[in-house]
Amino acid sequence: MLTVTETPIPGLLVVEMPVHGDSRGWFKENWQRQKMVAAGLPDFGPVQNSIAFNPAPGTTRGFHAEPWDKYVSVATGRIFGAWVDLREGPSFGTVFTIELDPSRAVFVPRGVGNSYQTLEPDTSYVYLVNDHWSPDAEYSFLNLADETAAVAWPIPLADAVLSEKDQAHPRLADATPVAPRRILVLGADGQLGRALRKEFGDASHIEYATRTDFDITKPAARHWRDYGTIINAAAYTAVDTAETTEGRAAAWAINATGPAQLARIAAANGITLVHISSDYVYDGTAAGAYNEDAPFAPLGVYGQSKAAGDLAVTTAPRHYIVRTSWVIGDGANFVRTMASLAERGIDPKVVDDQTGRLTFTDDLARGIRHLLSVDAPFGTYNLTGGGEPQTWASIAAAVYELTGHDPARVTPVSTDDYYAGAAGPIAPRPRNSVLDLSKIEATGFIASDTREALKSYLTGQIVNVRVEQVAAEKTH
């Protein structure tokens, strides 16, 4: 019976497999993707198969921590396997050993140092790896005789066959920890991009790219196997301009062609793709909140291009589509505009027949990190602020009140009246943008209440404005 067992090293798995034998010899299914993935092995996408043959017992190799995942099995003979976790993190230095024969294999995740000692003459073992070997690949190493790991080698190292290089490897205290696979954040100069930088920080394996750095419609060649996650926060969001000839082309390039290119890269390299979607993929006619399975019915070019991008992203096996609405962050946005109008004594007319929830970028970034950290099932998740839905007019009135102004200065109007006589094309807006949050809440994420988040956001904006005013006064 095929079984997969966990070990003390996270991600290092032992596979017990049936070996069928008779007078002619034996046969086994060394790698059978469908059965092994169903049993619990990761679908790691091997691209290279290598064989190591060792004529003498005691041949010992390692410890080598490689920049790819590896599936190790025995073709003939027996080996003693030892593994030391050399990845950054709390499990660094954890040791696991086990004997392997044709009926047992081990899945070794990237960054775990592996070593093998042959126990019988003419032993062969097979590696399946999910990246092509390269002389430029970055390894980490550990000395086979390291006192901290203290591996009990069946054949003492003094009697074993070792290479000079393996004998010269460093002790654990001097070993170079293996950093996680890289995280690439696209659209790093936008409102969400800045919040993601705040959420993920500046660790060495986090890479931030602006539109100038990285064109998602024509991604430059990279060694993509070094990346574990791409977060696509790049988007074309000028919904009215998208209705023009030039805007239509730009919207489709950035919102549809770009995600399709990223999905192709993610699928080919085992990368998790996080993509930001929009309430505009719906027509807003639903009676209640939209769940993740609601059918698309976009009204305008922006919504159509976002829906096409969503569909493209679903072709990546490892994907999170994070659907949101009414985003507010560090940059020009509705809340800042209303606060500015209030301070300048302007009494605005604001739409009151569009309903939804604000989503603050800090919450959105926190939710994205949550999905990744808890290994939530891949798929689509709605992620907006929590609490009762509001209209744009009621939000504007709340902004006026929270900034010390009379909320009655805000006049509610219909969408049709607001845009009557407008110059240039106006994109149709969904009247209902309320998204059901129960799916992401089931993963343990609770969104901030939009009213409380609005208070905190405005407090920060007021402080920032006063600091800027003091700084400006000092320069005059």
Between CA 380 and CA 94, with CA 41 as vertex, the angle to 5 degrees is 105
What whole-number distance in Å separates Cα of residue 318 and Cα of residue 219? 19
* Residue from 69, 164, 74, 165 nearest 120 by CA: 74
Q: Which two tokens stand for residue 261?
A: 């290119």
Q: Are 313 and 319 in contact (CB under 8 A)?
A: yes
Report the amino acid identity of residue 275. H
The count of other CB atoms within 10 Å of the CB of residue 429 is: 23
Q: Which two tokens stand for residue 406?
A: 């009379």
Active site residues: 64, 127
